[in-house]
Structure 1
Amino acid sequence: MKKRFILATAVLTGISAISYAQEEKPLKLHGELSYVKTSGNSKTETFATKLEVLKVYIKNRLTGKGEFLYGKTNNTENTNKLYLLGRWERLFNEKLFGFLQGDYLKDKFSGYDYRTVWSAGIGYDIIKTEKHYLKGLISIGYTFEDFKTGGSNDYTTGTAELDYTWQILENLKFKEEFRYRTNLEDTNVYFVNSDSSVQVKINAHFSLGVGYKIAYQNRPPSPGIKKTDTTFLTSLIVDF
């Protein structure tokens, strides 16, 4: 499986895309910031931030993402999560593209010290209109894991993802990112992630957002780890 993955990556890297008319677009930045603090009978503090970068060239799209979530209750830490993603998309025509992707997750309370996945795949812009944008991606890659209890693991991974944006009104937007990832050597090990949000634009650069995230792992790496984590956040959003 390792050899097949390396071969697929090399083939994808060397593919020459079909040329078609598309303009290079300026760099886009998207940032979100959320902070909640309560005191009294119960003291809680939650901080979350997200930064996304998108650059579109004539036949390439580059995407970077970073997310950080931290929380504590009564001065005891209960959330500490960092997620990083980088993806290069090579356009074959107006809708079809190949891509290489790497992502990294460090989650102190999930049972993993870290988990990183390197993958190559094919994507398609299924719907692309002024109001609706739906993109699908399928990839094969390799996962490396380190456990909080000690030890590590690595295996071949298959991933399917859908990214959807609905411009409901001129100042109102709905977004959904859904991902299913499984261990191809043991399909009882799989992960499901959903990130839903509604954004209300205040002016050209600022918006208010409400988001709900679900992170599910079918087989946690150690006893006492819950299968499902959920996060609800309200955020200030900045777009440039």
Structure 2
Amino acid sequence: MLKSKTFFAACAAAAALSTPVPAFAQLPEPVRAMIDAAIASGDEAKVRTVIELARETNPGDAAEIDAILASYETDLAAKAEADAAAKEEAIRTAGLFENWSGKGELGAFRSTGNSSNTGITAGLALKREGIDWRHKLTGRVDYQRSNGATTREQFQARYEPNYKISDRLFAYALAQYERDRFQGFSARYSVSGGLGYDVIVEENMSLSVKAGPAWRRTERIGGLTESNLAGLAELDFDWQIAENLALTQNASAFVQEGSSTFLSETGLQAGIADDLKVRLSYAVEHDTDPPAGAVKTDTLSRVTLIYDF
């Protein structure tokens, strides 16, 4: 009986030894070198293309190639996570004057309405994106002198902080200063706060809307000062039509007792260099109850160069 058991054990051992053990085939050295070179380039699209070609031309080595791809994807995910963590930490520890981006604008304008003339225009827009907060600073000047007299003088400056409640919903605050003697006021101050929503968030298109209560103080040229409660609604639309062509549309409405203000500005900009663009824009501003002697609607056509920084 013992001999029978020994015989069967020996047979089983011999059978086990004769069964092939699964193992990766040896990937040809030129193929491995090609994959390693693609990975070293840091170009993910190139890596995936090379690996797919290697799999098609070396079907017997598919398992080893899949293992290389899995290892690459693991390293890629780890690097992306590390980069995201480093970026977030850099944003959180940035100083007050760091992480700002913006654009400067300089050109000419043509106006009709309360004044009909051609002059110079300049603008500056700054933006700072944080983890929870977003800050926007903008300023614009339109100015002209003719025969020793100022025939156009319009200034606007505004600051808008946003707090991100969710991926798309945000709360905003707004402080704005304007001066336009030809519309009948030496200064107009506006403050507002409310909610906004990013309706469209795509790589080539964005649409944001916001609304809330507002307060406005207008100092008229003649010395009269008015303060009013108002409602503010704004729309900001950007569409990257092509690589070097973009359409922008901004609209706002201050609705109040007395003179409400409606503004619409449409722009078309084209890239002419890496950080340089040319922009054509057309703005319409309508005041429902302007001072005596002023017309209700002003239009402004601008041709400007924009430098991104």
User: Smaller-chain TM-score range?
Assistant: 0.7 to 0.9
Q: CA deviation at 1:117?
A: 0.6
Q: Distance in 1 between matches of 2:149 and 2:185?
A: 20
Q: Are 1:217 and 2:287 an aligned pair?
A: yes
Larger strand share, 1 or 2 = 1
C-alpha contact 1:111 1:147 (8 A) present in aligned 2: yes
Give the residue type in structure 2 aligned to 1:127: I
Q: Corresponding residue for 1:12?
A: none
Partner-residue secondary structure (3-state), 2:183: coil
Provide the C-alpha distance between the structure 2 equivalents of 1:173 and 1:97, rounded to a whole number of angstroms: 25
- Distance, in Å, in 1 between the alignment partners of 2:142 and 2:245 is 25
Number of equivalenced pairs: 210
Do residues 59 (structure 1) and 132 (structure 2) align? Answer: yes
Change (3 A) 1:155 1:238: same
Counterpart residue number, 1:83: 156
Provide the C-alpha distance between the structure 2 equivalents of 1:74 and 1:97, rounded to a whole number of angstroms.
Answer: 49
Q: What SS does the aligned partner of 1:109 have?
A: helix
Equivalent residue, structure 2, for 1:6? none
Question: How far apart in 1 are the matches of 2:127 and 2:265?
Answer: 18
Higher RCO, 1 vs 2 (CA within 8 Å, ≥6 residues apart):
1
Match of 2:194 among 117, 121, 138: 121
Partner of 2:169: 96
Match runs of 1:146-161 below 5 Å:
146-161=219-234
Encode CA deviations 1:15-52: one digit per residue, 9 max, x unaligned. Answer: xxxxxx99559421111101479xxxxxx751100100
- Kindly indicate whether the alpha-carbon contact (under 8 Å) linking 1:82 and 1:107 is maintained by their aligned counterparts in 2: yes
TM-score calculated relative to the size of structure 1: 0.83
1:237 — aligned with what?
306
Q: Is the 8 A contact 1:88 1:99 kept in 2?
A: yes
Aligned runs of 1:173-212 on 2, under 5 Å? 173-183=246-256, 186=257, 189-212=259-282
Residue 169 in structure 1 maps to residue 242 in structure 2 = yes
Query: Does residue 141 of structure 1 match 2:214?
Result: yes
CA RMSD of aligned residues (A): 2.0
Q: What CA distance in whole angstroms lies between the structure 2 residues aligned with 1:104 and 1:96?
A: 26
Contact between 1:198 and 1:209, CA under 8 Å: does it hold in 2?
Answer: yes
Cα distance in 2, alignment partners of residues 36 and 192 from structure 1: 20
C-alpha contact 1:112 1:146 (8 A) present in aligned 2: yes
Note if contact 1:45-1:73 (Cα within 8 Å) is conserved in structure 2.
Answer: no
Query: Deviation string for 1:171-216 (max 9, x for gaps)?
Result: 0011111001111xx2x53110011111101122101111111111
SS at match of 1:149: coil
Q: Deviations over 1:149-168 (max 9, x none)?
A: 11101011101110000000
Identity over aligned pairs, percent: 25
SS at match of 2:182: coil
Matched to 2:299, the amino acid is T
Shift of residue 72, structure 1, vs aligned partner: 3.4
- Note the alpha carbon deviations across 1:71-120, whole angstroms, 9 max, x for none: 23444322100000000000011100001110010111111111111111
* Partner Cα separation in structure 1 for residue 154 and residue 179 of structure 2: 6
5+ unaligned residues in a row in structure 2: which ranges? 1-84, 92-97, 111-116
Kept after mapping to 1: 8 A contact 2:109/2:302:
no
Tell me what 1:228 maps to. Answer: 297
Distance 2:144 2:296 in 1: 19
- How much does 1:130 deviate? 1.1
When normalised by structure 2's length, the TM-score is 0.65
Answer with 1 or 2: which has the greater Rg: 2
Q: Is the 8 A contact 1:45 1:72 kept in 2?
A: no
